[in-house]
Chain A
Amino acid sequence: MALSSKTFDYAGGAVNDLFAASAFESKATGYGLEAYNYDLAASMADKNADFTRTSTALKMTQLERQKYSVLGGQQADVASSGFQSSGSALDILRDSAQQGALQEAVAHQQGLIAEEGYRTQAQSFRNMSAASKLAQEQARKSQKNAWINTAVKAAATVASIAL
């Protein structure tokens, strides 16, 4: 095999392929990060599902609580009417305590949900920043490479005239 234009065609092609490989690596990284973000979103969705289930349970409990509340009102009315019923006051206290705790837990849980949402958003923006910085760095590299290629082609142009 002799030295010819094809030699440099192949060499140029190899360099081109190296950069193409790097480009695919970048794309893979991009897709990876996209997947990671989707994973994050999925995770968030899962959490939201849990939140929804919890919320549903809470709502069921609350409906149960309303039913008992109505019954309690009826028993109270009964008691006030002279009917004998044992233990009713204690039940009412216990029930109130439970309602208060529930209220706190829901508020707390809702705060956590919002926090988690913002944390995820922050992480996502950081990822976005890192990607942009990487793109900036690559753009600078490409700029330098463009100068190098310009010099090489200019020199080649002059040399081709001189030869």
Chain B
Amino acid sequence: MPNIRQIVAKDVSLNPSETGTTAVVNNARRIAGVYGDIAQMQQQDGRSFNQSIQAAGDVFVQYAEHREISQGSATFAETQATLSQLWNEHAKNADPNDAETAVRFQKDVLEPALEQWRGAFVTARGQDYAENRVSRLREHMFEKTRSDMATLAGEAAQVNMRTMSNQLSVMVRADPTSLDMALETLNHGVGAMFDSSPNLTGPQASAARTKISQAASEAIVKAAVFGAIEKNPTEGLKLAQDPKYSKYITGMEVGQFEREARAQERMALAEQRYAEMQRKEQKQKLSEDTVKAMVDNLYSPNSTLTIQNVRDAKDQLSLQHFEHILGMVERRSKPDPRATVSAETSSALLERMWLPEGDDRKVTTLDPIREEMIAGRLSKADFNFLNEQFDRASTPDGSRLSTQKKQLMDAVKPLFDKPSSLVPITDPESRLKLMQFMKQVDGEIMEARKNGKDPQAVIDKYSGPNMMQHLSPWQASLQDIMKKQAERMRAPSPATTAPTTPVVTTTPTAPSVPKPTGFPEDAVRGDDGKYRVIRNGVPYIVMPKGN
């Protein structure tokens, strides 16, 4: 039997592969883990960058803040100084009573400047600093501007008040009775001034108001008291002690017012005396001018002065001048005294005229000269010479020259008195020659002045080493002296023309003593009492016969 073999598939099952699936599943988890790691690294990087940026940023911010604040401090000081200066300039020309002055400055100048300064800050701390400083400066400037305006307004008020106070003080000093009215005016003025001022407000203004008002009131009251004391010290003191005004015057000031009252009384008395003296001086000057004009008239060639003229002018003359001019009118018709007498009188008066200031003997008025004229001891020429010398001595230059002329006269006078040391006999005409000498000196001085030369040269010429040479023409010889002395001794007494009252003479000549008998006729008595004669130019002492 045939065996037919058949093909039979043994295993027809398909086995799924897990290889890929397992790998994929496992790797899927791993990949997620890897990406998780990447993400962690990235996050770590982010954190690190974050920290780095923060760290660097902190440092940068610190630097920027420091730089800003450092620079800002300097610019702040500059800004503050600039603003202060601008405000000072602003306030200097501002109206103290304008309330908007400070506001305008704050708005137009202060705020823009502060904003500009603050705008330069970009860091937080810098801005905090800037804000703080701006706030502080704004506050400061606000206070300053307000204070300055108040000060300016206060000063303006003070000036205004002082002006008002001064005006009222002047008024009440002139019219103390208007004191109450002045105080009322002051109070109204103060109230109006402070109430209307927009810059004077608050306690300070109130205090200033009180202070200014009190000070002004005190000044006005004191001025009134002073004025009252000036008018009537007693009434003025009553005003000062009036309780109504006691709050304006201290006890010490009352004492001052009392002293002022006493001083016023003394001053009034002194003024009275001064006025009296002034009246007397004016009267004396009028009298002097009148008598001088009369004297000039009296000794002019065409004199018209009469006794009646003098009597008519009696009201203008002092009693002394009236008597003087009367005496001189009477004297006009009489002859001049002897030249030696007039010369002695003149030299004595000149010496007294040229004495230094303060000397009791100094001739300070023309009266002594006139009295000597009336007494007949001065010639008209010497009278006129003395009047001229008196006038010249009244000027500063004349006074200086007068002193030098006196020194010259003192120096030459002994040489005129006793030309010779051998014989102690005084020249009886020494004063006459002395006066002639002084008149010549004075003439040369006048000539020098007229020619524009220094008058001092004239004095120097006569007081220098050649003095004796210049004086020799004026000095008498011994014979002439003895001759004149003898004539004098023989002459009758000059009672008719001699002065009845001797004037002061510095070098009196030897008294005229009757010569005893027994001496030669030409014997002359010397100053030593001895008698001498001149023989062949030589003096000899002689004795009376019989001795």
Contacts and interface: CB of A to CB of B under 8 A. Distances in A.
Interface string A119-138: 11101110110011011001
Interface stretch (B59-67, B290-298, B427-435): B59-67
A26 B453 CA distance: 133
A16 interface: yes
Interface in A1-27: 2-9, 11-13, 15-20, 22-24, 26-27
A38 B32 CA distance: 11
B49 A124 contact: no
Contact of B35 (A27, A41, A55): A27
B475 to A, nearest CB: 117
Contact of B14 (A97, A113, A145): A113
A117 B4 contact: no
A67 interface: no
B37 interface: yes
A84 interface: no
Interface stretch (B16-24, B194-202, B364-372, B391-399): B16-24
B457 interface: no
A22 B44 CA distance: 11
Contact of B12 (A48, A61, A131, A142): A61
A12 B14 contact: no
B530 to A, nearest CB: 130
A74 interface: no
A114 B27 contact: no
B250 interface: no
A139 B35 CA distance: 12
A41 B61 CA distance: 56
Contact of A156 (B10, B24, B58): B58
Interface residues of B, number: 70
A124 B60 contact: no
A106 interface: yes
A40 B24 CA distance: 7
B59 A156 contact: yes
Nearest to A128: B27
A12 B53 contact: yes
B92 interface: no
Given A11-B57, A30-B36, A34-B28, A145 B49 contact: yes
B6 A16 contact: no
A152 B31 CA distance: 34
Contacts of B52: 12, 148-149, 152-153, 156
Contacts of A69: 6, 8
Contact of A41 (B8, B24, B42, B123): B24
Given A2-B123, A128-B31, A159-B63, A135 B38 contact: yes
Contacts of A18: 46
A152 B7 contact: no
Nearest to B45: A145
A5 B50 contact: no
B55 A9 contact: no
Given A33-B32, A141-B45, A44 B24 contact: yes
A3 to B, nearest CB: 5
A62 B7 CA distance: 12
B503 interface: no
Q: Specify which of B9, B22, B24, B53 lies most central, judged by the most chain A CB atoms within 10 Å of its CB.
A: B24
B29 interface: yes
Contacts of B22: 121
A79 B21 CA distance: 53
A151 to B, nearest CB: 9
B123 A33 contact: no
A160 B58 contact: yes
Contacts of A113: 14-17
B77 interface: no
A12 B51 contact: yes
A23 B123 CA distance: 34
Contacts of A65: 8-9
Q: State which size class the interface on A falls in.
A: 35 or more
Contact of A62 (B12, B18, B30): B12
B17 A114 contact: yes
Interface stretch (B124-132, B224-232, B333-341, B443-451): B124-132
Given A15-B53, A58-B12, A99-B6, A44 B20 contact: yes
B63 A37 contact: no
Nearest to A104: B9
A23 B46 contact: yes
Contacts of B48: 145-146, 149
B24 A124 contact: yes
Given A11-B57, A27-B39, A153-B55, A102 B12 contact: yes
Nearest to A103: B9
B46 A17 contact: yes
Contact of A99 (B8, B20, B21, B57): B8
A8 B11 CA distance: 74
Q: Specify which of B12, B40, B55, B125 lies most central, judged by the most chain A CB atoms within 10 Å of its CB.
A: B12
Contact of B46 (A15, A35, A47, A58): A15
Interface in B425-483: none
B13 to A, nearest CB: 5
Contacts of B64: 3
Contacts of B19: 114, 117-118, 120-121
A145 B64 CA distance: 26
Nearest to B126: A2
Nearest to B57: A8
A3 B31 contact: no
In order of increasing CB-CB distance, the 7 nearest A-B pairs are A8-B57, A30-B35, A19-B46, A120-B20, A117-B17, A37-B28, A48-B16
28 contacts: A4-B125, A5-B58, A6-B124, A17-B46, A19-B49, A20-B42, A26-B39, A29-B35, A33-B35, A36-B28, A37-B25, A38-B28, A41-B28, A44-B17, A51-B14, A59-B12, A99-B9, A106-B13, A120-B24, A121-B22, A121-B23, A128-B30, A134-B35, A135-B41, A149-B49, A152-B52, A152-B56, A153-B55
Given A114-B17, A117-B17, 20 more contacts: A11-B53, A13-B50, A17-B46, A23-B40, A48-B16, A48-B17, A72-B6, A92-B6, A96-B6, A100-B9, A103-B10, A117-B21, A120-B20, A124-B20, A124-B24, A132-B34, A142-B45, A153-B52, A156-B56, A160-B59
